[in-house]
Every structure is written in C-alpha cells, then in structure tokens.
Amino acid sequence: MQLDGLKVLVVEDDPVFRQLVSDYCSQIGLTVSGAEDGQEALERFHDVQPDLVLVDLCMPRMGGLELLKVISRMAPEIPSIVITGNKAMSDVVEALRLGAWDYLMKPLADLAVLKQAIIDCLRETGDVPAAEQPSIPGWEDPGQSIEMADNFEAIKHDTQTASLIQAQLFPASRQSRKGYDFGYNLFKSEPVSDRLCDGFECGEHYYCAYLARVHPGGNLGAFVSVIIRSFFNQKLKRYRQGGSEAILEPYAMLGYLNEQLVKSGLGCTLDIAYLVFDQRTRRVAIGRAGNQIKVYLRSDDLLSPLALPQSPPIGQSSWGQPNCHYRDLGAGQALVLLEGANIARDSLMAEQFSGLQDDLHAGACLQLKSSA
C-alpha cells in the first residue's frame, strides 16, 4: 500500500476513540503513535517524527489549537487533520487558519472518509503519489463529502451563526506595506454576504488577493467562505514549504478551486477574480472565472476596463481551461475588481474602505495599488 512506512501521530484525549483511530490507521498501513493531549504530543514529536498529525481540539493541559500553533512554528512542513466533536465553527476556522489541512467531525460514520482525507493530505504534500490514489466506492457521492457534515447542516439553518463565522474570515479593510496598498468593501443586503474576499502576503515578494461571489447565496456563503479560505491556505502552506508555486499561478489556482468545489458536493458555483502582484517588477497576474466581476486599471480617477476572455464560473465538472492575463503597474496605478451596486464603485473612487458593511444594495470592490 502507498501508506506503508508513513508515520502518524494521533492526538486524542478519549482513549476509546484514540484506539479506534489508531487501529484503523494501522490497518491501512500507517505506523501509529498516540498522545492523550497536546503536551504529550509535543513531548513525543521529535522522537516520533510524524509525517502527519491527527488532532482533536478539546483536550486537557494543551488543546488542539495551541498544539497547531506550536507545530506551525516548529515544523510547518508537517500536515495536520483535525478530528473533533466541537460544534464551535469558530474553532474550526481558527484551526484552518493555523494550517490544518482538513477537518472531520465526530462521530466518523464511515472510516473510509478518514482514509480519503489522509490520502488527499499526503498526496498534496508529496508523500503519496497522485497516480497511486485509490478510488473509494461512494466518495463521488456528494453526501459522503466532508463539507456535507454536521457543521454545514448547522450553518444552513442558523443565520446568526453563519454570519458570525463569516465575519471572522475577512481581512482588515486596508493593508499598506512597502510596495502595495490593499483595500476593499463588501456591501451586504442580507445577514450573510454572498461576496467573499481576502488579501495576503506570499513570501517576501508577492501579494495575492481575490474577490468572489457565490451562487446561490444565503447561508451557504458562510460555509463556502470557510472552505475557499482553507483551499487557499493549503496552497499557501505548500508554497512556504517549497513544494508548490500554484498559489502564484492564477490559472492553476482557479483550476484547483474548481476541482475542490466540485468534489465538495455543495452544488454551488463561484464567480472569482484572483490577483498575484510581484512587488519587484510591479507585474500583476490576473485570473478570472465567470463574468460578473469586472477588472479595471485605475490611474488617479480614471478606470479603464480590461478585456479578459470569457470564462464560466468555477464549480462545474465541465469547466474549461482558465486563462491568465498580465498587467504591469506604474507607481500609483492600481488593479480594481468591481461587482454589484453603484455604492461599491462610489466608495472605491473615494478610497473609503471599511470592509464588510450592511446596506440596502449589495456589491463589492477591491483595490490593489502599486506604491513607491
């Protein structure tokens, strides 16, 4: 088996569940070590030298979130999967932010889901060759996908929880560093926004940003916010480990997002524009799927639309090959993403960026400006 010889550290305070997971991992070929909490896991980490960590969130002495923080500093190349009965999605979101590759909810009705998550994770890190990934019967059924677990059902029927979860995911409304300025507004007319965005540094030289709109809207937008953020985090982590530059290639990133969104079984599509800014050359790579988000070059108060190829939204099994466009920015010039009501354009032109806001009309704007 392709998992033979790989080592997993199972961190779980419930001895019965820890034994269940450990026995299953042994059956599928992994070499297993166990720990009853985060403190014991750290004490054993260097001796075990695991290829993967399976971790619960709620444990005595040191919980899963604190353990993930330490591992992300100490051994960022080691992937982790959260297995938890914690229904607080804010903790799950924080785990994904800390670099957890995936999360599964207890109880695990089908341990084949755990095997698939492990194989997907180790395939992404290069420990399991993609060509050797086995097909697990039933995995193609959307009802088996991780994103259809209890948390999705809870969010779908609890608008307040969905709104609170989503609000944690958006970045600061303005970010300024040497070489760039980033700002955005998301105007929502419903409790949960169907517009998503993020902006983040990638290494020393790159800044990445995206703006997206989910179809259909409603509470689904909160869950899609979580999984899209986790997909980007996974590729960002792989880049930092030196294993993949897909995060810097918009066409590759959009293809990856489409594949994962289809596999999630959520039945949604996403209009998205993704920007990668090289601060050394002031060149921006632009990828777009769907036609609702418009892309402009801004010089002072002049917006010039960029003619980009037509492309369908992501989230479709028949989705075509994405395109990539490049634009060199002069000092003070900006790439702008616009969608929806005029209030988004008006706030953009006034450079008034306040992040997520309630309004009678929904829309979004994002600006990435080259600075001296």
Q: Where in the chain is the domain with CATH 3.40.50.2300?
A: 7-146
The answer on pLDDT for 256 being more than 80 is: yes
Considering the domain 7-146, what is its CATH architecture?
A: 3-Layer(aba) Sandwich (3.40)
The average pLDDT across 234-239 equals: 80
Kindly report the pTM of this predicted structure.
0.69
Write down the pLDDT at residue 182. Answer: 98
Highest mean pLDDT among 27-41, 66-80, 95-109: 27-41
Write down the pLDDT at residue 6. Answer: 93
Q: Does the domain made of 166-370 have the CATH classification 3.60.40.10?
A: yes
The answer on pLDDT for 128 being more than 70 is: no
The answer on pLDDT for 300 being more than 50 is: yes
238 vs 194, higher pLDDT:
194
Write down the pLDDT at residue 153. Answer: 62
Write down the pLDDT at residue 313. Answer: 94
The average pLDDT across 220-229 equals: 82
The average pLDDT across 97-113 equals: 80
The average pLDDT across 283-312 equals: 94
Q: What is the DSSP string of 62-118?
A: S-HHHHHHHHHHH-TTS-EEEEE----HHHHHHHHHTT--EEEESS-S-HHHHHHHH
Other Cβ atoms closer than 10 A to 353: 19
Percent of the chain topping pLDDT 70: 87
Write down the pLDDT at residue 160. Answer: 81
The average pLDDT across 19-46 equals: 94
The answer on pLDDT for 308 being more than 70 is: yes
* Cβ contacts of 1 within 8 Å, gap of 6 or more: 28, 29
pLDDT tier, 267 (very low <50, low <70, confident <90, very high otherwise): confident
368 vs 58, higher pLDDT:
368
pLDDT tier, 140 (very low <50, low <70, confident <90, very high otherwise): very low
Report the relative pairing of strands 269-278 and 206-215 from DSSP bridges: antiparallel
Mean pLDDT of the chain: 85
